Amino acid sequence: MLQIAVLPILKDNYVFIGNIGSLAFVVDPGDGDSVLDHVSKYGLSVGWVLVTHHHADHTSGISQIKKRFSDAQVIVPLSEKDLLPCWDSLAVDEIYLCGTHVKVLELHGHTLGHVGYFFTEEKLLFCGDVLFSAGCGRVFEGTHLQMFESIEKIASLPGDTTIYCAHEYTRDNLRFAMSIEPENIAIKNYWNSIKGHRYSTIPTTLEQEKNINPFLRIKEYQKNQFPELTEAEIFAILRKRKDSFQC
């Protein structure tokens, strides 16, 4: 059975370590010490490192992991390979690891080459900085249209998909969501359930996000507030509002 450990690192990042038995993979290791401490504690051997995008808070621990596990394959986005140090890295459309099939999804917008990793049988998605609980990532290198199309791609996955986002931004995102939909009971209820606690809200599910995440509720806004605009235009308006929103 596939097990996933969620490790908080740096200020608000997560690194994920999955394993079946003693064989493990790591997603977005922004800190090598945390990964090596975990795998040593549980007697795991790292066979793969999955990278969603080139930002340092997702990649800084890779060299340290490769020193310990020299045979580990580093999977990176094809169009960002030149932005990353050479670890004999691979860029692929799909992979098999720990005995399971993983589809590499192009999720551009946050960066030009950003990808996600969808475990098709287990229905798990590691989406980096594209989708967060109750929010989405900033558009740094791509366009708002690219980010919208990436979010739509995630929205098309099965509703019971478990989503592993790479940052703990949920509370701030919910404040923004409540400003957009002050009468949304699902958002209010979730806010009330977590506002007094500091525990992790990751993973989340696609089903939950469709109820609380403004960037997955564009169709509702188009129907009720912006019938004259396209969904992509509404997405861009919301993302720009979020950029300047003061929590």
Question: In this structure, what CATH number is given to the domain that contains residue 101?
Answer: 3.60.15.10
Which pLDDT does position 243 carry in this prediction? 96
Amino acid at 86: C
The separation between the first and the last C-alpha atoms of the chain, rounded to the nearest angstrom, is 40
Which pLDDT does position 170 carry in this prediction? 98
The reply to whether 167 belongs to the active site is yes
Mean pLDDT score of the chain? 96
Tens of pLDDT, residue by residue over 199-222, are 899 999 999 999 999 999 999 999
- pLDDT at residue 88 greater than cutoff 90: no
Share of the chain above pLDDT 70, in %: 100
In a domain, 165, yes or no: yes
Are the beta carbons of 126 and 114 closer than 8 angstroms?
Answer: no
Q: Give the least confident one: 93-102, 156-165, 204-213.
A: 93-102
pTM: 0.96
The reply to whether 144 belongs to the active site is no
In a domain, 7, yes or no: yes
| Counted domains in the chain | 1
In a domain, 232, yes or no: no
- Binding-site residue numbers are 53, 55, 57-58, 110, 129, 167
- Considering only CA atoms, which of 63, 51, 62 is closest in space to residue 128? 51
CA diameter of the chain? 57
- Binding-site residue numbers for Zn(2+) are 53, 55, 57-58, 110, 129, 167
In a domain, 236, yes or no: no
Which pLDDT does position 91 carry in this prediction? 79
In a domain, 245, yes or no: no
Average pLDDT of the segment spanning 147-159: 98
- pLDDT at residue 85 greater than cutoff 90: no
The reply to whether 160 belongs to the active site is no
Which pLDDT does position 217 carry in this prediction? 97
- pLDDT at residue 246 greater than cutoff 90: no
b/e map of 184-216 (b: 16 or more CB within 10 Å)?
A: beebbebbeeeeeeeeebbbbbbebbebbbbbb
Q: How many CA atoms lie within 13 A of 140 on its CB side?
A: 13
Which pLDDT does position 30 carry in this prediction? 98
Owning domain of residue 148: 3-169+200-205
Among 28, 53, 54, 108, the one annotated catalytic: 53
